Amino acid sequence: MSCEGPDCEKALERLYLFIDHELDNASCDEIQAHIDGCQECLTEFDLEVLVKTLVSRSCSEVAPQPLRDRVLLSIRSVQIEIQQDR
């Protein structure tokens, strides 16, 4: 399954707003519905939520960029390993 459709692009674009709760409920439902049916976007969504959770736990307000990069990098390398196993 690839994630190159316009729906995915749109969903991922709004994903970040969704996570930050900056979208109205209608838009949230729309994205939630897409994520429910799209494994690629679900994975991306999980990554973002995970990073946000880790970052918010480790410091108070703004995450230091190096930490965020490190977390993202390690998650992505795990993800690549998983993909290569298929």
Q: Which residues bind Zn ion (CB under 5 A)?
A: 8, 38, 41
For the bound state, the minimum distance from the C-beta of residue 73 to Zn ion, rounded and expressed in Å, comes to: 23
- 60: amino acid identity, one letter: S
Per the listing, tokens 């970040």 go with 16
For the bound state, the minimum distance from the C-beta of residue 51 to Zn ion, rounded and expressed in Å, comes to: 19
User: In the complex with Zn ion, which residue's Cβ is closer, 16 or 74?
Assistant: 16
Where residue 21 falls (left for φ over 0; alpha for ψ -120 to 50; beta otherwise) is left
Q: CA-to-CA distance for 78 and 65, rounded, in angstroms?
A: 20
Rounded to an integer, what is the distance from CA 44 to the centroid of its chain? 4
Per the listing, tokens 């880790």 go with 54
User: In the complex with Zn ion, which residue's Cβ is closer, 41 or 71?
Assistant: 41
User: In the complex with Zn ion, which residue's Cβ is closer, 23 or 67?
Assistant: 23
For the bound state, the minimum distance from the C-beta of residue 63 to Zn ion, rounded and expressed in Å, comes to: 25
